[in-house]
Amino acid sequence: MKRVGIVLGAGVGLNEILPLNAENRVKKSIERYSEDCIDSIIASGGGNESEVMAKYIIAAGISWRDVYKENEARSTVENFYLSKIKFLENSECRDVEAYTQDWHAQRTLHDGRRVLGSRYTLDVIPTLDGRLQSEIERDKKLEGIKFVKDIAQLDLLLYPIWPHELKMKFGKLEQIFKDRFLGH
């Protein structure tokens, strides 16, 4: 791996169907790989999300040898943190791209740079969203809340004394924020 693209997960629908925003992130990674801009792709998302994204990428003709699955992340911070400790730290890669929608790009860049540190370069490549405007507006409203949550999570993740298991449990805060502020 010399230059890698990280596809940030955005959920998986029923019957393992990617929502449009996630599908567009995957398509962008395929496009960048096909243009020789990246050497490999990390599909990052919890549960079966990374598996579904990886299947889509491989079905597009990309060799399975160039597709890595990170299947624990439940947040943007965790996408970068887990990709770093599972794949990037043991590779020659120093250049990273991340794919997400434009309204999520600023937080992605902040979180990614903070997690990856100065050892890596990071570019955020915006993608189309494709969902209903009401869904996009809901997610935009959550960005400020998630940004504050990410700062707290980054402080915890980057504090070297905390065990890995405790760091991962902190990711559940995102669901608590959604429940409280969206009334789910």
Q: How far is Cα 18 from Cα 15, in angstroms, rounded to an integer?
A: 9
- The whole-angstrom distance between residue 100's C-alpha and the CA centroid of its chain comes to 8
DSSP code at position 8: E
CATH of the domain at 27: 3.40.50.620
Domain annotation covers residue 39:
yes
> How many C-beta atoms surround the C-beta of residue 1 within 10 A?
19
Domain annotation covers residue 178:
no
Domain annotation covers residue 159:
no
Amino acid making up residue 80: F
Tally of domains in the chain: 1
pLDDT tens column, 86-102: 999 999 999 999 999 98
The range of the structural domain enclosing residue 8 comes to 3-130
Domain annotation covers residue 89:
yes
- Bridge partners of residue 124, in order along the sequence: 98
Domain annotation covers residue 141:
no
Domain annotation covers residue 162:
no
The alpha carbon torsion through 151, 153, 159, 161 (nearest 10 deg) reads: 160
Largest CA distance in the chain: 44
pLDDT tens column, 33-60: 999 999 999 999 988 999 999 999 999 9
- Taking the whole predicted model, whether its pTM rises above 0.75 is answered as yes
Domain annotation covers residue 103:
yes
Q: What mean pLDDT, rounded, does the chain reach?
A: 84
Domain annotation covers residue 29:
yes
Q: For tokens 């405790």, name the residue.
A: 166
Task: State the average pLDDT over residues 159-184.
Answer: 53
- The whole-angstrom distance between residue 13's C-alpha and the CA centroid of its chain comes to 17
